[in-house]
């Protein structure tokens, strides 16, 4: 495998990326990634959602309205952690006629071991992760991507994060989300990086891989064995 990620082509005018942050956080942690994508020529917008006080359905409805109100000829969506889950659920139930791709970064697409561990400690603790996460874990999670868009997933394999407070954190993981939880069947491409859950957002290599996928629909040029 090549050690460097080829430079992705610049986007055409009217190409916009909507970023969706994870649970609890606010989207400020995605600032560097947004700035890097903007420097490549993308229009960028940040969707803010209420993970703690809003239900999963309420947040999905807000996302649907936000995307519909986003002016773009080509519409990409990049979600971190639960943000990738929201993107997945939205596009499975609400297809968008505009072209575009989805990238999920460290997203618990098939389950969330850490979230379930918090929920098992005390009835009040699901509030730490938020009502939306509680709702997500209460439903049956389909292990197969049912949407029409090309879908790429970046996952971390450096186990440094809040999940490590629980004995027996399965390996590999990014410290919050297990690698196996990112392996949604039917997606277009999947790549791993030796980074933790939030480190994925700050890595130049991850940003380059995201740009490559949005432009061409693949992560070719990045190593896929966790060593990059």
51-72 burial, b at 16+ Cβ within 10 Å, e below that, comes to beebebeebbebbeebbeebeb
CATH code, residues 20-216: 3.40.50.1820
User: What is the Cα–Cα distance from 170 to 164, expressed in whole angstroms?
Assistant: 9
User: What is the Cα–Cα distance from 8 to 156, expressed in whole angstroms?
Assistant: 22
Distances from the Cα of 84 to the Cαs of 22, 39, 165, in angstroms? 8, 23, 24
| Bridge pairing between strands 15-20 and 43-47 | parallel
Where are the chain's structural domains? 20-216
pLDDT tens digit sequence for 189-227: 999 999 999 999 999 999 999 999 999 999 974 444 333
pTM (two decimals): 0.92
pLDDT tens digit sequence for 29-79: 999 999 999 999 999 999 999 998 999 999 999 999 999 999 999 999 999
pLDDT tens digit sequence for 127-185: 567 899 999 999 999 999 999 999 999 999 999 998 888 888 999 999 999 999 999 99
């Amino acid at each position: 495998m090549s050690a460097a990620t080829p430079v992705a082509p610049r986007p055409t005018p009217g190409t916009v990326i909507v970023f969706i942050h994870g649970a609890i956080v606010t989207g400020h942690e995605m600032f560097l990634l947004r700035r890097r994508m903007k420097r490549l020529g993308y229009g960028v917008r940040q969707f803010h959602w209420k993970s703690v006080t809003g239900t999963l359905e309420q947040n999905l409805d807000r996302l649907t309205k936000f995307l519909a109100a986003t002016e773009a000829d080509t519409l990409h969506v990049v979600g971190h952690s639960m943000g990738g889950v929201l993107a997945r659920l939205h596009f499975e139930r609400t297809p968008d006629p505009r072209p575009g791709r989805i990238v999920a970064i460290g997203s618990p697409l098939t389950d969330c071991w850490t979230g379930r561990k918090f929920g098992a400690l005390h009835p009040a603790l699901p509030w730490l992760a938020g009502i939306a996460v509680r709702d997500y874990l209460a439903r049956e999670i389909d292990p197969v991507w049912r949407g029409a868009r090309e879908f790429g997933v970046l996952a971390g394999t450096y186990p440094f994060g809040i999940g490590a407070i629980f004995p027996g954190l399965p390996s590999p993981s990014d410290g919050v989300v297990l690698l196996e939880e990112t392996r949604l069947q039917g997606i277009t491409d999947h790549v791993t990086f030796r980074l933790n859950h939030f480190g994925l957002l700050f890595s130049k290599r991850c940003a380059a891989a995201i740009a490559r996928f949005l432009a061409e629909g693949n992560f070719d040029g990045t190593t896929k064995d966790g060593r990059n």
